[in-house]
Amino acid sequence: MVPGMQALFGFQLIAVFSPSFKDLLSPAEQVLHLAAILLVTIAIALVMAPTALHRQSEPMSVSRVFIATSSRLLMASMVPLAVGICLDVYLIGRVILGTSGAAVIIAALLLGVFFVFWRVIPQLARRRWVSRTR
């Protein structure tokens, strides 16, 4: 997951230095891109936090507390990652389609996809697992 997030971050940074960045995006949209970069950066920090935590606090063992904390950090990373990606998809859609209405719909649908695959389906699977173990 980390290499994919790093690649996304790199592409986000490269876009700013493209000659057409200022031509195709309004100042408000450029700030929106900055917000997307910041959100992906937060997600990267949250995903990498368990590694730093493990190396510094429990380098020779893996405790239940560490697993629970790591799980919480990874779950927390999904929100800024999804929102950051959706903001950039909105901007790309706006540039390609020339209209913000359709781009908003595309970004909102994508956010729904993230929600279904990252929250709804795992919760359903957990409920099935819990009901089987009772």
Q: What is the pTM of this model?
A: 0.87
What string of H, E and C letters represents the secondary structure of the chain?
CHHHHHHHHHHHHHHHCCCCHHHHCCHHHHHHHHHHHHHHHHHHHHHHHHHHHHHHHCCCCCCHHHHHHHHHHHHHHHHHHHHHHHHHHHHHHHHHHCCHHHHHHHHHHHHHHHHHHHHHHHHHHHHHHHHHHC
Q: Could you report the per-residue pLDDT of 41-68, keeping only the tens digit for each? A: 999 999 999 988 888 887 888 889 889 9
Question: pLDDT exceeding 70 applies to what percent of the chain?
Answer: 100
For 98, the domain range is 2-133
Report the candidate in 30, 33, 67 with the shortest Cα–Cα distance to residue 50.
67
Residues of the chain with pLDDT under 70: none
Q: 98: left (phi > 0), else alpha (psi -120 to 50), else beta?
A: left
* pLDDT of amino acid 83: 97
Give me the number of domains the chain comprises. Answer: 1
For residue 36, count other CB atoms closer than 10 A to its CB: 23
